[in-house]
Structure formats: C-alpha cells, structure tokens
Structure 1
C-alpha cells in the first residue's frame, strides 16, 4: 500500500500524462477521423489507439513494476496477480460521444490497491475540465475557473438530481430503482463525467443499470471516494475491482445522500 506522499507524487505525474493524452485525442477530434468496430462490435477510433499508446508507455516508465490493464491493449486472459496493485486505463471513454462530437468523452486512468481505486484522473478535453482524486488527500477540478477542491453534497430538500447515461439506459429499470425517492431533476451526460458530477456536488446519484467494465469507472470512482462519496452494487453490497473478467455488476454512484 502506497503512502499518502507516494500517491501525491504519482498524482502530479498522472495529471501530466492524462493532459498529454487528451491533447492526442483532440488532435484526432479535429480531423475527419475513421470509425471501425472492435471484435465486440463497439466503435474505436485513432484517438483511442493514440491515447492508449501514450498512456501505457508513460505509465510503464513511471511505475515499471505495476501491471497495466487497458481497454484497448490488454489481451484476454492478462490480469494482475491476486492482491497486486494495478493501473486501469480507458484512453477514450464515451467513444460514441466522441463520434457524435458532443464533447462528453473522457480520458481515464486509475490506480487500484486492495480492490479499491486510490488515485484517479478524469479529463474531459473538449470541455477543458480535469477531475482528480487521491485517497486521504481530497478531490479537485481544474477548469477555466482554475483549480479548486470539490466535495459531494448532501441531498437538497427539493430532492435528488439524478444523472443518467446519454447513450445507454433502461428507463423502466431506472424508474424502479428510484421508486419511493424524491427526485428533483434528471440529467443526461456521457462517459465517466456522470460520476464526476456527483463528486463535484452537481448531482446526487448516478445509477448504472447496464453493462460497464472496470476501466470505464475506476478513475471517476477514485475522484468520488476522495470527494466523500461511494459506489455500491444495486443491492447495497460492496463494490470491488479485479473481477475475473473486469465486468461490473449494476451499481449506483452516490454523493452524501446514499
């Protein structure tokens, strides 16, 4: 387990890595890029590959002893040893948002220790926003207004602000999960930004009632934990990482009201 000082030093390095990866993504975003399908029929672009190459190379140089799990470059069956710390990388979360050019895509890197994210950075390069969190130190956003600390909020008297996926979702399942809760507003957003909105006190809960992978949410989860929130399985049980296939159960990301 790394010390707070070690995590702080890694955080500084990781901000630079993710910022540079975001620049790679935006360079492709400015072109008439090609979209192809992966073996699971999900879309992929040159931006995914370029950002992945940069992040993986830089992480290997930074922490050569730490295993890296990346959506784009980890082959089936490759995984860290049980109990081993590892990086989780999603070089472009929200590829559909990237293709649709709505700006709601992110670059995500997290460090997992003992089954939980202890450090994470999420950049939304088209929006000029960078979220980050370090266990025991806090969470921050860096945007046009500068760098400032963020915290989850208590649920307002008016009710929950619920954030849901823009590209994926089951309205009936969401209604069932929220039944009996006072809801003030439902917002849609893409990629891991949804978790960061909860961390920043801009929303109260993000229920995810569809398929996700660990790399989709780990960095946002690190920010959320550092901001005072948590993620739990839909039945309220604990949420952990390094699952056999890296697939997540359905979950809810809560601020202080969960």
Structure 2
C-alpha cells in the first residue's frame, strides 16, 4: 500500500480516498487547539447551556468559528453540523456529506480550570463516518482515522494489543448524554454495576478523550449510555480503525451514524477478545432490577 506523509507533524498515511478531507480536518483541529491552549488560562465568558448543567464559553465559539470557516472554504458544498451554531446546509447531491464539529469537548472541565479537553472533527458520507480527528491541545497530540485506512497517532499506526483484562478488573470509561436525567434507572444501574466490578471507572466529561485512550490501548473498555451524537462518529471511527470492537449494550450490532434517536447511541467498546467479558459486565446491571 502506498504511504504518504500528511504534514510535518503527521504520520505516514495510506493513499486512500478522503485524504484531502483528513488533512484539512487535522490542520483545522490543530489550529483550533492552538487557539484554545493560548486562551485556556485567560478570561472568557461562560454561559449556561440548557437546564442540565452544561455550559458554553467564548472559547467554544471562537474555536468553532475557526473550524467551520476552514471547512467551508475547502469544501463549500458540504453540510456542517457544529456543536454551538447548529447546521449549515450543503448543496444537494446524490450522497450527503456532513461535517461534525465539537470545538471544545470538555467545556465543563475548562470552566473549573481542569486541563482535560479536546477538539473533535468528523466527516460522514451518508450516515457513515469516513474521517475522524481528535486533537489534544494540552499535549499538542492528534489521533485520527480514515474509514478503511487505519487509525494513527503521533507515533504512527494505532493497533490495540492482544492482552486481556487484568485480574484486578478492567479500567473503563463512562459517558452519558446530556439528555439523560440524573435519576434515570438504567444509567444508574449501569454505573453502579461498572463501579462495583471495574478497577477504575473514568468519567472525564470529554468522551472524545476517552475514545482516544481506548484506541491507544490505555484503557480496557468504554461504556456509553445515550451518548451525544456530535462527537460519537469521530471517536468510534478512531477506535474501530485501531481494532476496537463496538457493540450495542445487548450485544447486537452498533451503527455509529447521524440517524436515529439517542436510545440507539448506547454502546460497549473494547478489544475483540474482551468483548464477551465486557458484555457480561454490562449485563450484570439487570440484577439491579433494570432490564
């Protein structure tokens, strides 16, 4: 397979379709990341977003405007769905191309001074993600994937290793969508079960960072309940291209796309050899009285 270098900072990538889109997404994410990093310790406005404790800052808006502008300049016919500004319709065509932009995944962390946040960009063709980028401004590291072309990080190709869950229990990450009520019985049952049986359950408030940890093999699994749609395609593509398996909570097929209600966005993800164990772990929540 022909390999080419994306830029001075990037790894060698296969010469597959969507390389131009990938290159643009990486560059835009890195540019937005530099902006966020430069303003992280400065002053900015913070506003409530919805009624469930989420927030939006000036940094979200500045980074989003930058990314949306770069995408629109390069691919003016494509639709864009951004976290803060909503949708920018694209030109009509036989197959819809939609960019998903999460300019600051971890806004709540930033507001309390916690340097745990990333930039996420994805491109979906129809309902399927074909490009995914996650950039960490704090460490200035980027992880990205092209559908069918693999996942890559600063050190090159990402491939989850073959070791199994340690005897002390798995290291897991958890996320739930903002639409999930605090007293949602299914969410509570799942979390209680995971906390009881995992070595550690990470709740980072930045799902894309959890996806990058999983793709790198730094954690054993990731469980999501009614996850947010804006960042799921980028993270799931990155993980899948690194060799991670993703299933619905009942063990069935999981489709990561734009369509469908949030009830279709519950998942368990991990190494293929660990999936039976992880599904059994998630299934244990039914003993708490929730099906």
**How far is 1:31 from its partner?**
0.6
1:92: Cα distance to partner? 0.8
Structure 1 equivalent of residue 119 of structure 2: 107
Q: How many equivalent pairs are there?
A: 248
* Shift of residue 184, structure 1, vs aligned partner: 4.3
Structure 2 CA distance for partners of 1:10 and 1:167, relative to 1, 3 Å:
closer
Match of residue 148 from structure 1: 156
Q: CA deviation at 1:246?
A: 7.1
SS in 2 for 1:214: coil
Q: How far apart, CA to CA, are the structure 2 residues paired with 1:199 and 1:150?
A: 7
Shift of residue 128, structure 1, vs aligned partner: 2.6
* 1:47 counterpart residue number: 59
Deviates most, 167-176 or 122-131? 167-176
Q: CA deviation at 1:240?
A: 3.3
Question: How far apart in 2 are the matches of 1:247 and 1:101?
Answer: 32
Counterpart in 2 of 1:163?
173
1:31 match: 42
Q: In structure 2, how many angstroms separate the alpha carbons of the residues matched to 1:40 and 1:178?
A: 27
- Bigger drift between 17-26 and 150-159 goes to 150-159
Counterparts of 1:96 and 1:114, CA distance in 2: 31
Structure 2 partner of 1:212: 227
Instruction: From the superposition, tell whether residues 246 and 90 of structure 1 become closer, same or farther in structure 2 (CA, over 3 Å).
Output: farther
Structure 1 distance, partners of 2:270, 2:127, is 19
State the match for 1:173 in structure 2. 190
CA distance 1:246–1:89, change in 2 (3 Å): farther
The 10-residue stretch of structure 1 (54-63 or 111-120) with the greater mean CA deviation from structure 2:
111-120
- Contiguous gaps of at least 5 residues in structure 1: none
CA-based RMSD: 3.1
Query: Which digits, 9 at most, give the CA deviation of each residue in 1:146-181, with x for residues without a partner?
Result: x322122333353432123599885532244688xx
Give me the TM-score of the superposition, normalised by structure 1: 0.82
2:242 maps to what in 1?
227
Give the 3 Å change call, closer, same or farther, for CA 24–66 of structure 1 in structure 2: same
CA separation of 1:36 and 1:80: change in aligned 2, threshold 3 A: farther
Matched, 1:190 2:190: no
The 1-side partners of 2:91 and 2:211 are apart by: 25
Long gaps (5+) in structure 2? 1-13, 276-291
- Tell me the equivalent position of 2:138: 126
1:5 and 2:16 equivalent? Answer: yes
Equivalent pair of 2:100/2:122 in contact (CA under 8 Å): yes
SS at structure 1 position matched to 2:16: helix
So what's the TM-score if we normalise by structure 2?
Answer: 0.74
CA apart distance, 1:245: 6.4
Distance 2:85 2:205 in 1: 23
